[in-house]
Structures are given as structure tokens and as C-alpha cells.
Chain A
Amino acid sequence: METLISWAIDVALVLLVVSLAWRALASTDLFKAIVLFIAFGLVLTLVWVRLNATDVALAEAAIGAGVTGALLLAAYAKLRATSPDAIVDRAGGISGIGAISLLILILLVAAALGYAVWTLPSDYAGLGKEVAANLDQSGVSNPVTAVLLNFRGYDTLLEIMVLLLALLGAWSLGITIPRPEAAPGLVLDTLSRLLVPLLILVAAYLLWVGAHAPGGAFQAGAVLAAAGVLMLLSGRELPAALATWPLRLALVLGPATFLMLAVITLILEGRVLKLSPEWAGRLILIIETTATISIGVTLTALFMGAPPGEEDR
């Protein structure tokens, strides 16, 4: 009975996730596509839980179902403001013979992928044992955090750089669409006054708990970004005094600290980001704290689009 229900849950989840993706990509209404995509992220969070990837579920809940959704909705609104014509998705990129041969080609690709996945060795051990054996050297007891910040720290360093680069790219394009907004009103104002401190608190909690349980800098950074986005949405713009160098400082704080540590470890230990076991715990906490701040500010800035103070240019 238990296994039957368990299987039914998995089958229902997969059917739901695939049909949500399919409907999101096939519907003619773009707004519907975005809402379905948000629902897709929501269900995907449950899929990660079923696969025992709780860290991933946390990241998906914060980023996939949260920040990405807000970004897409804001972009949709800007698209409509720029050109009402542009939100209509006219069908017919490809039609007739082309569409059919493309469909056949995609089905062949799907069959090949399915076969490749099917024939993957099932007795593959992975790196779980190696990580577990070296976990006490890493300074943290959550294996995913150990991989992200210690064993493969260079991946994470580059990832934070990618985030910063994306923001620089977005800023250099200078998209500015003025949008008059109503005053937030008492209800929204009260909500943001209650939720913003709670979001910051939860971000700090996730950052702290990441050392020994699911959590960490990315999840915390995304929750922090949600606080920033909520403040922007309830009409609280960044004060002009903070929009100049303090904002830039917050953006590079994480990458700069991480990079500095990479250089120091290269000189002292002879290898990039080789953390000595007695210092690793503290160093990871420092990197994660600065990274959380930078990730939160970067994602909020990406939501804003243009650098603050230049909207009216």
C-alpha cells in the first residue's frame, strides 16, 4: 500500500510537471504562459523534495518559483508598456512540412535522450563517499555547502561573477520605461512593513543553518532579494545617497571577498581556495555572509533594470 501510494505521488507529480511545462510553452497568451511557468517552478520544488534534494528544493522555492516569477511579470508589464503589439505572440514561425520534419527530429532527439538515460549504469556510486569521508575537514557538516564553498569553491566564485556580469550587461543596455504608480496604499504598506523584516530574518536564518542543514548563501541571497523587490513594489525607492557608491560596494562585496580569499590561498597554500581545516568554518561563514548580501542586492538591481538615478535619463 505504502509503495503504491508513493508511486502514485511520483507519477502524478511527473504528469503535472510535464503538462505544466507543455502548456506554458504552447499557450498563445503570454501572461498565461508566465503564470503556468511559475506553477511549474512550484511543482518542481516538490519534485526536488521527492528526489531527496532538499537544498535544491529550497533554491527552487526561492529562485525558480519566486524571483524568476517576479522578474518575468515585471518584464511582461514593461513589454506591454513599450509596445502593446509586442505581447501578442503570433504563431507560425515554422509551418507545413518544416513543422512536421522538425517534430520528427525532436522526437528522435527525445528518443535518443531517453535511451541514453535508460542505459545509464544504475550501480554508479558517485562522489557521495568521498564527500562524506572529507566532510570533517570542510568546516561545515552540510555536504552540499561543503561542496559549494570548499571542495568546489571555484565553481561558486565563477557563479557569483556571472551574476555580477549579468547585472553589468543589464545596466549597460539602459532600458528605462517610466511607469507611474499609484501610492502603495495602507494595506500593501502594512504588508511590506511586516514582511520585509521577516524576509531579512529568514535570510539570516537560512545563511546560518546552511552550515549543518539545507540552506546557504544562494537561498539566503534570493530571500534577501525578495525583501528588496517587495520594498521596490511598495513604492520605497533606494535613497539617492545610497544609490551611488554604497550600492556598488554592496554589489562587489561578495565577489571581491571571494576573489581576495582565492588570491590569499593561492599564495599561502599554493592552491586556489584550499581552505585549511581549522579555519574553513569561519572562512566559509565570511564568504557566505558577504555573498548573501551581494546576491540579494544584485538580484534586486536586476529587478530594477536600470541603475538607480538613471531612470529619468
Chain B
Amino acid sequence: MSVALFYALAGAGLFSIGLHALLVHRHLLRKILAVNVMGSGVFLVLAAMAAPNAIALSDPVPHAMIITGIVVAVAATALALVLMLKLTAETGQAVLPGREEENS
């Protein structure tokens, strides 16, 4: 197994951990963190694919895509945080409404 493959598998693992947390937790701040972890997992797979072995020339296109992704992620995170605060100001709770009957 190459180093790159090892990191790519870790990226798949991070994505799965994030997906699980996204579905299991109800608090929106936790969901925002979960989406960020999922994104990092995807970036890790991309970066590992940029240098599949030590001999090959490192591919700058995935690196540029990851940088774009990191910036989009921080913008989305900031917007999501404001949306969460707005919802909390309206309802007093930082969870999505509509599930109360099931979880009472």
C-alpha cells in the first residue's frame, strides 16, 4: 500500500464519520461541523490522488480545487452559522423544527 492510498482511505473514513454525525445529531452547530469534516475527507482523497506515487509529477489541478473548496467551505460555514443564529433567535432552539412528535 502506498502512502497516498493510505491517506485516501483515511479521507473516505473522515467522510463516513461526518456523514454519520450529520444524520445522527440534531444540533445545527454539530451538523455544520459534520459537513466540514465530510468536506475535508473529500479534499483528502483529492490530494492523495494528486500524487498517486512518489515518481509521478505532483498534479496541481486537484490542489487548486482543494483551495477553492476550502474557501467555499468557510463562506458556506459562515452563512450556515448566521442561519442557525437566526433560527435560534426565532425558536429558542438550535435544531430543525418538525421532529418534536417523534422525539418526545
Contact = CB atoms under 8 A, between A and B. Distances in A.
Nearest to A135: B60
Interface size of A as a range: 35 or more
Contact of A53 (B26, B53, B66, B92): B66
Contacts of B37: 21, 24-25, 37, 40
Chain A facing B: main interface SS:
helix
A35 to B, nearest CB: 11
A85 B27 CA distance: 12
A92 B72 CA distance: 31
Contacts of A305: 82, 85
Interface in A272-313: 295, 299, 302-303, 305
B68 A155 contact: yes
Interface string A105-134: 011011001101110101111111101100
Contacts of A63: 70-71, 74
Nearest to A120: B49
B78 A302 contact: yes
Contacts of B16: 106-107, 109-110, 113
A110 B13 contact: yes
Interface string B1-39: 011111111111111111111011111011001101100
A225 to B, nearest CB: 9
Contacts of A295: 71
Nearest to A37: B33
Given A51-B47, A159-B68, A75 B20 contact: no
A33 B81 CA distance: 15
B6 to A, nearest CB: 6
A106 B49 CA distance: 23
By DSSP majority rule, is chain B's interface helix, strand, loop, or mixed? Answer: helix
B6 A10 contact: yes
Nearest to A114: B12
Contacts of B19: 106, 109
A92 B19 CA distance: 16
A93 B65 CA distance: 34
A208 interface: no
A147 B40 contact: no
Contacts of A123: 52
A258 interface: no
A224 interface: no
A232 to B, nearest CB: 14
Contacts of A60: 70
Of all A-B residue pairs in the complex, the 4 with the closest CB atoms, nearest first, are A126-B59, A110-B16, A128-B57, A25-B21
Given A106-B23, A166-B76, 20 more contacts: A10-B3, A37-B37, A64-B40, A68-B36, A79-B88, A79-B94, A82-B89, A83-B93, A89-B27, A89-B30, A93-B24, A93-B99, A110-B13, A113-B16, A122-B5, A128-B58, A129-B57, A148-B68, A155-B68, A167-B75
16 contacts: A14-B6, A37-B36, A53-B58, A79-B29, A79-B85, A79-B94, A85-B93, A93-B24, A107-B16, A113-B16, A117-B8, A118-B9, A126-B61, A129-B57, A155-B64, A303-B78
